[in-house]
Amino acid sequence: MADNLDDNVIRAFSADHVVRLTGLTKRQLAVWDETSFFKPQYASENRRSPYSRIYSFRDVVGLRVVSVLRNKYNVSMQHLRKVAQALSEKDYAFWGQETLYVVNREVSFHEPDTRRVRSVLQGQYVVPIPLEPIIGEIREAAAKLKERTTDKIGKIERHRLIMHNVAVIAGTRIPTGAIKRFRDAGYSLDAILREYPSLTKADVEAALKFEEKDDRAA
């Protein structure tokens, strides 16, 4: 028995090691062992003897998980004890063997049979929200925001938050002055439309009419 334990010590971790690796205290490890919340895989019956608590690598991973649940996600010790009991009763591997999730400070896990994520204690399934469909919906909706309605065709507007209140063709960010500059540079109406495929003939004519009126007013 002693020889086997010595062999295991080479591949395992003392309480001192666990403290450094997990951020837990020796007192926590002792209490958790005494209350059967978390027992070392390799442990002597006489816990008062030196190196009586020897932890496997999987133990250390599990204890680190518990530490993260406690300190980062504020999961209560009372809840963790209930989780440990529930999973143990169902013969599910836990802590260092199961992928765990935290929802509203309660632990959930992959149910072995269905592989669905559910709350350990409440039994409620965690409904996944796939992002790809949502991303697609947002992209589509964003594209529609750029679409011009028919009541914007051939109209000019100003908005304080668009192009610093410069006159633009309604439903766009195209200044009427840009249309005039193309016309002054010798561009025909069709050539201007090729520069701005989203515009219509009515848009260009409205922009030029506005700029001519603005010039007369000046």
Question: What does the pLDDT look like over 86-111, one tens digit per residue?
Answer: 877 665 656 766 678 887 888 887 77
Give the residue among 148, 162, 204, 147 at the shortest CA–CA distance from 180: 204
Residue 155 has pLDDT above 90, yes or no: yes
Domains of the chain: 1-62 (1.10.1660.10), 73-140 (no CATH), 148-217 (1.10.10.10)
> Which residue is it, tokens 């919340």?
37
Mean pLDDT calculated for residue range 13-25 = 89
Q: What band does 10 get if pLDDT is binned at 50, 70 and 90?
A: very low
Write out pLDDT tens, residues 158-211. Answer: 877 666 788 999 988 899 999 999 999 999 999 999 999 989 999 999 999 999
Give dist(CA 126, CA 129) in Å, integer. Answer: 9
Tokens of 122: 């409440």
Rounded distance, CA 55 to CA 11, Å? 9
What pLDDT shows up at residue 153?
A: 93
pLDDT on residue 194: 94
Q: Please state the rounded mean pLDDT for residues 140-145.
A: 72
Mean local confidence (pLDDT), 44-54:
78
Give the whole-number percent of the chain exceeding pLDDT 70.
83
- Looking at residue 149, its pLDDT comes to 84
Q: Positive or negative, the Cα torsion across 104, 110, 115, 120?
A: negative
- pLDDT score for 161: 63
Helices (H), the chain: 2-10, 15-22, 26-34, 57-71, 77-89, 131-145, 176-184, 189-195, 201-217
Average model confidence (pLDDT) across the chain: 82
Q: What is the pTM of this model?
A: 0.52
* Residue 4: pLDDT over 60: no
